[in-house]
Chains A and B, each alone.
Chain A
Amino acid sequence: FSLSLVFMAGRKVFKKASPNDALVAYIGKRDFYDHGSHVDPIDGVVSIDMSALKNKKVFARLQVSFNYGMEDLDLLGMNIHKVLLTKYFQVYPPEEDMQPTKLQKKLMKKLGESAFPFLFQLPPGVPSSVTLQSTADKASGRRCGVDYELAFYLANTEASKLKKRSTVRLNVRKLTYIQPNAEAPPPSATVEKSFFMSSKPVIVTATLNKELYYHGQPVSVNVKIDNQSAKSIKGIHLEARQFATLRAQDSVKGMNTKCVLAAIDSTVGFPLKPGASTTCEYSITPSAFKNQTQAHLAFDGQLKDEDTNLASSTQLTHTSMDQNIGIVVSYEIKVKVLVAGMSGDVSVKVPFSLATPKNDFRKLSVNLKHTKRQPAAQQSPLPSFAEETPEQQPAVVHQIEPTKPDFNVPEEERHILDYNFDELEQTDAFEIVFEDFVRGRAEKFFGKEESDNEDD
């Protein structure tokens, strides 16, 4: 069984038209990865109805905005945001020295002369797409997070106000890919604590089996307890915790959030008597699904109501870029050894990284959601699955046998597909399958249509 076969049959391309059909935008994927050394170029083509141009130009705009209003914390009901980055690209008339990418060549060949390429190249270290879960009324439309939006529009100058009728807006995501470092030692931490009236300490060492975990992978925690104290140890408590820091601007004190993703309480092997020592192994899985309702939990950028992973650990660049990062996410395992009596417990904290596997194919295609062959009992517990009505189903349904009933619990690092559209160049036999988005479906998939007034 090879996953790559699945995609050989048809290369999905996302397509969306402006309300007046003057512009149709095509992009090959919605998720773009920051590899640390470089960021995937954000590329595609725009098909233009030349009769609608009327001496205007066509621009593409990539905007990274940080919406940091928090319904439950802000006194004012307002979508408060900061534009972190705006980039423009003149699509038409085309830039002369533009070298089309493989995807663009393929699309231009298919779409004909009225299709023009666009490309955005981001420097590494720009903030990744992150959404903070809000427990407040969703109808308010306020959300907190870093969002990437592509807009294609007819205008005289790039900075013109966008007109709804002739604008295509697409939300995309920039995700963090963390290269596993085989040489990195497994993270470990030791804490020694002495108690009143007891000369010797309790020594606790926690060691993880590795530093980097993919979403859904269990974290193995090895805990060594050397109880030299005169106290008895009753049990142990473990937590996988997520921390997020909102950095909007220097003058506003950043908000910090802490979420417990999973917890284990155990008394097996306890009490541990004074003078005794022990080593135990625990497995704890940080999971988004157990925490659907937890306020301020950080996810990898959420497009509309679609399911997504816990946010990947933020990779700071240690440059001035870090000042403008939006939401900084980190993880740790906290081990608390419960000491009898009133003298307090012994806690040790070990940081780890959580990351999205590169090109998590589940995110690449909506069609995967409609695999009818998936038995009901094995359906992934993703809430958005059931919301799709039959008429919204795309024309092509891939023949996919999922490897696991729940993609979020891989035992091994997943086979990683590297999608660079090489297959598009090889032969015309590989078809492009257009995901066409009509209004309602596009809204669900790409996010809400904005109103004409940018400032609303």
Chain B
Amino acid sequence: FIMGDNLPIKFQEHVTLTNVGISADNVGFSTLTMESDKYICVREKVGDKAEVVIVEMADASNPTRRPISADSAIMNPASKVIALKAAKTLQIFNLEMKAKVKTHNMPEDVVFWRWINVNTIVIVTENAVYHWSMDGADAPVKQFDRHASLAGTQIINYRVNHDLSWLLLIGISAKEGRVVGSMQLYSVEKKVSQPLEGHAGAFAQFKVPTNPQPSNLFCIAARTAAGGKLHVIEVGTPAAGNQPFAKKSVDLYFPAEVPNDFPVAMQVSARYDIVFLITKFGYVHLYDIESGTCLYMNRISMDTIFVTAPYEATGGIIGVNRKGQVLSVSVDETNLVPYVTNTLQNADLALHLAVRNNLPGAEDGFKT
């Protein structure tokens, strides 16, 4: 792929994990986790000893290793706290304080878990979804029972909105020659689940300029038998004084050379109100959340990017591909507005983005 001077994104390669002592065999969904842009956790076998390698992104060339006997390791998104799981046993350690923070034995096997914020872990079993706070002495608290439509799927992600009132469980399964995404959207307030077809999803708060309060938006990307779609919809009742957010639905474009591609990851940049979408075959798509317009798409990796997180430094997205490259994509503040004006030929959107995000490049637009 070619990165020209006038592209609306910045692409950065942070580190290649195989260059800092991590075996390529261990760069994969089941052995590598990245809960935030701060740490990457890799489980490795050295001889007959199992180790966890913690790569602190601020000092990526000096990973630390510790012996473990766990089948999963996830670093807290913000602090030097690691959660480990071995079948039903869960333990949280504070690496800096050298303390065991918490321990719990689940009654059933844990099929998926991750940190959903700085002090909460989601635990997904075959039957239900739990939230476990690392504070206090509480055991994991059940949030909802899993919907039958996700039975037999591989759970690949779990998302929550800003106040944990909307929860989303995502699983995939192979059906009729394609990978089907199954989602369960759950409203904590209404205690109701809704099954959906979709591969990647995320929640966002977006303030419509004419509304007094931000709207709670849910973005869902799916490639169904009928084609690819991105939907941006408001969940719940609009806040007092707000006009409802008008639902946006746009086609997801998949090039002919990758007929089996589908979305795998989504991060919404709160800084730019832009949806970053990553596909199985290494494409990145950028969408304006307000209008649903596709701003840019390009292939950034020939290898599957199997894990992503928000890239806080730039309001972008960071991920790891099968080769062990840690990559980030961010908005190029200088080029975005001129790109929308010139390449997309959408002067209205360019002006709108410039005003909304305080970006340069729309001066010509003001003159006309």
Contact = CB atoms under 8 A, between A and B. Distances in A.
A78 B51 CA distance: 11
B66 A252 contact: no
Given A81-B98, A250-B137, A251-B136, A76 B82 contact: yes
B99 interface: yes
A68 B100 contact: yes
Nearest to A66: B99
B7 interface: no
A63 B52 CA distance: 31
A251 B101 contact: yes
B117 to A, nearest CB: 18
B68 A75 contact: yes
A81 B99 CA distance: 6
B137 A80 contact: no
B137 A75 contact: no
A123 B68 CA distance: 39
Interface stretch (B85-93, B177-185, B352-360): B85-93
A75 B95 contact: no
A78 B66 CA distance: 7
Interface residues of A, number: 19
Contact of A78 (B98, B101, B103): B98
Contacts of B189: none
Contacts of B136: 251
B69 A75 contact: yes
Interface in A50-86: 68-69, 74-82
Nearest to B96: A455
Given A252-B100, A252-B101, A76 B91 contact: yes
A248 B100 CA distance: 8
Interface string B54-87: 0000000000001111100000000000101110
A77 B135 contact: no
B10 interface: no
Contact of A75 (B84, B98, B99, B135): B84
A79 B67 CA distance: 11
Nearest to B95: A78
Contacts of A77: 66-69
B102 interface: yes
A252 B97 CA distance: 14
A61 to B, nearest CB: 18
Contacts of A248: 99-100
B66 A69 contact: no
A80 B85 CA distance: 17
Contact of A76 (B93, B102, B135, B137): B93
Contacts of A80: 93, 98-100
B99 A82 contact: yes
Given A75-B86, A251-B102, A251-B135, 8 more contacts: A74-B91, A74-B100, A79-B98, A81-B98, A81-B99, A140-B67, A253-B103, A253-B137
Interface of B: 52, 66-70, 82, 84-86, 89, 91, 93, 95, 98-103, 135-137
29 contacts: A69-B100, A74-B69, A74-B100, A75-B68, A75-B69, A75-B84, A75-B85, A75-B89, A76-B66, A76-B91, A76-B93, A77-B66, A77-B67, A78-B95, A79-B98, A80-B93, A80-B98, A80-B99, A81-B99, A140-B67, A251-B101, A251-B102, A251-B136, A252-B100, A252-B101, A252-B103, A252-B137, A253-B103, A455-B98
List 10 A-B pairs, minimum CB-CB distance, nearest first: A77-B67, A75-B84, A75-B70, A251-B137, A75-B91, A76-B93, A80-B98, A80-B100, A81-B98, A75-B86
